[in-house]
Amino acid sequence: MAYVAIADRDNAHALHDPQSFITKYIWSQDHKVIAIQYTITAIAIGLVALTLSVLMRLQLGFPHSFSLIAPQNYYQFITLHGMIMVIYLLTALFLGGFGNYLIPLMCGARDMVFPYLNMVSYWVYLLAVLILVGGFFVPGGATGSGWTLYPPQAILSGSPGARWGIVCMLASLATFIVAFTMGGLNYVTTVLQARCRGMTMMRMPLSVWGIFMATVLGLLAFPALFVSAIMMTLDCLLGTSFFMPAVSSMGQPSGYNGGSPLLFQHLFWFFGHPEVYIVALPAFGIVSDLLSTHARRHIFGYRMMVWAILAIGCLSFVVWAHHMYVSGMNPYFGFFFATTTLIIAVPTAIKVYNWVLTIWRGDIHLTVPMLFAIAFIFTFINGGLTGLFLGNVPVDVPLSATYFVVAHFHLVMGVSPILVVFGALYHWYPKMTGKMLNDTMGRIHFWITFIGTYMIYLPMYYLGILGLPRRYYAWDESIQFIPPSVHTMNEWITVSALFVAAVQLVFLFNLVWSLFKGKPAGGNPWRATTLEWQTPDTPPVHGNWREKLPVVYRWAYDYSVPGAKEDFIPQNVPPDKLAPAGHHS
């Protein structure tokens, strides 16, 4: 008998549905429940990061006004804010959250191929988050070495948390990587093996493509972080000298000898740059689907979009040293990396053009998800174009370590993916819960977030061109080149940041309020073509598809097909039966 994967089983083979509350919602092996667990945990730890950023902005806008923010606290906040946002929020939310929810539903599978491994992945992720938070409570507090954790300062006694904080951070990262690898094996294998009949790779929605490629990048890039975490832990606890050069710390010889801090930088950025695309590719994919659905128009250049995702994925492994232009590298080395960095802009620009051409002359519905998707295009262009400045060595050298860099990476890999996260939550919340999110609250949330982020980050470009160095706790009057206007502008940025942070509470309130009071959504409120909107139940039940798996007959973007009765044709409508079948529920 041929092997039948769990994800492929028809109802006759299906596992028994979990009955008790615990197996249904806590120790659950259902990909949808695990996705929601991932999402809630990621949002919760993201709120910690948001709070930290507010505290940092308060210090920068109104220095010396808050006695509770000492310099060492400020550096701990920087470190934890960066690490949480990049890894524990964005990576976990896009791959663990949306990846888990969307891959089986969009591919027409009943579940991930290894549901048990999937469950373990979530609980190990939770453990990683707990170890990370635990870092705040160990003697010496959390590490304050900056999110890049550069040695030697990360484990020398001058840095906050140099003894135990850094160990917690490294242990948490290693744990996270284990969790991610378990999840990642699942996502990749599910995409390759559990697609329903008719769902060829080139019929997959771009969301799945983006998540798939990001997972591949993660599986190959996270080992670099793992390697550096292991070797740094040994340097820190057992006194090896992998990364630690001979230094004296506070007048005392440290006992380290001959290690290479640059080796750490290479390993870290060999992970760190693909990480940017681990976050960006799912955002690219999801935003493509949002734009297409809400503009009622097929995605422009689908094949090119897939190629671009693959090209970006491959190129992302050969650009890492553009984070290290000021490390004293060989100029030819810098030249090579500047070239690859500019080359990667080509497939990225293709994607941007295709998004714009997708909504060009489309029947644009300015729903909340669409607003976020369009805001993403704006923000991504803004952040991306400044990447061209920083990608060129001679321009980067003066701008390096200024607020220009801060503005660039926040817009391009902070705000842009977060806007997609919001758009995606507004878009798929109706499928997850059966209720629509409140539209008015959504619009308030959108406009304040969107305009607010520009009020925060556009001035930072200006500050960076003035030469304002980043990572400073405060800029004293004695620093001659900093004009007084900088301080006024910092106050402005802080006030804007407070508004943006506050309006996120509206969003959180909306998430909870709509669960009880939201308008019933029906099965397919956005009249979308992809499979997750064609499930017989909303929210989908365990096993997703009742008796029969769907069969796919067309690509995911049959919107406004000339001659069709409605302006969308779901993927599972056979060619001989062109009446839309999107109203199951």
Partner 1 sequence: MNIWGAFGVLSIGVIVWFLLIRKLNTRSWERHGSSVHVRSARGDVGEVEVPPARIALWVFLAVITSLFGLFISAYFIRMGHGHGAAQAISDWRSVSKPSILWVNTAMLILSSVTMQAARHAVKLNNRARVLGFLSAGGVFAVLFLGGQLIAWYQLRGAGYGLTSGPAGAFFYVLTGVHGLHLLGGLTVWLKTMIRMRRRAAELIDVRLSIELCTVYWHYLLLVWLVMFALLLST
Instruction: State how far the alpha carbon of 382 is from the alpha carbons of 339, 408, 461, in Å.
Output: 21, 8, 11
Nearer to partner 1 by Cβ, of 9 and 443: the residue is 9
Q: Which stretch binds partner 1 (CB under 8 A): 88-96, 237-245, 419-427, 518-526?
A: 237-245
Nearer to partner 1 by Cβ, of 142 and 305: the residue is 305
Instruction: State how far the alpha carbon of 489 is from the alpha carbons of 29, 52, 85, in Å.
Output: 50, 20, 25
Nearer to partner 1 by Cβ, of 47 and 263: the residue is 263
Looking at 62-205, list the stretches that DSSP marks H as alpha helix, in order from N- to C-terminal side.
71-83, 100-107, 115-134, 165-193
| 274 in Cβ contact with 221 (< 8 Å) | yes
267 binds partner 1 (CB under 8 A): yes
Instruction: State how far the alpha carbon of 545 is from the alpha carbons of 105, 196, 387, 562, in Å.
Output: 9, 11, 44, 30
Q: What are phi and psi of 17, to 5 degrees?
A: -65, 140
| Among 16, 67, 139, 238, contact with partner 1 (rule: CB under 8 A) | 238
Nearer to partner 1 by Cβ, of 194 and 468: the residue is 194
Give the residue among 430, 410, 425, 306 at the shortest CA–CA distance from 372: 425
CB of 94 to partner 1, least distance (A): 19
Site for partner 1 in 313-342 (CB under 8 A): 313-314, 317-318, 321, 333
Q: Three-state DSSP class for 310?
A: helix
Contacts with partner 1, 362-401, as mask; x by CB under 8 A: ----------------------------------------
Nearer to partner 1 by Cβ, of 11 and 488: the residue is 11
**HEC sequence for 13-66:** CCCCCCCCHHHHHHCCCCHHHHHHHHHHHHHHHHHHHHHHHHHHHHHHHCCCCC
Site for partner 1 in 559-578 (CB under 8 A): 574-575
Site for partner 1 in 171-230 (CB under 8 A): 181, 184-186, 188-190, 192-194, 196-203, 216, 219-221, 223-224, 226-227, 230
What are the tokens at 365?
């519905």
CB of 406 to partner 1, least distance (A): 28
Q: What is the residue-wise DSSP string for 491-539?
A: HHHHHHHHHHHHHHHHHHHHHHHHHHHSPB--S-TT---SGGGG-SSSS
Instruction: State how far the alpha carbon of 480 is from the alpha carbons of 466, 476, 486, in Å.
Output: 12, 9, 12
581 binds partner 1 (CB under 8 A): no
| Among 23, 72, 240, 392, contact with partner 1 (rule: CB under 8 A) | 240
Nearer to partner 1 by Cβ, of 72 and 260: the residue is 260
253 binds partner 1 (CB under 8 A): no
Site for partner 1 in 111-150 (CB under 8 A): 113-114
Nearer to partner 1 by Cβ, of 220 and 385: the residue is 220
The distance from CA 213 to its chain's CA centroid, rounded to whole angstroms, is 13
298 binds partner 1 (CB under 8 A): yes
CB of 511 to partner 1, least distance (A): 34
> What b-and-e string marks burial along 306-344, b requiring 16 or more CB atoms within 10 Å of the CB?
bebbbbbbebbebbbbbbbbeeebeeeebebbbebbeeb
Q: Which stretch binds partner 1 (CB under 8 A): 82-90, 301-309, 361-369, 455-463?
A: 301-309
231 binds partner 1 (CB under 8 A): yes
234 binds partner 1 (CB under 8 A): yes
CB of 223 to partner 1, least distance (A): 4
Q: Which stretch binds partner 1 (CB under 8 A): 14-22, 94-102, 295-303, 453-461?
A: 295-303
Nearer to partner 1 by Cβ, of 10 and 439: the residue is 10
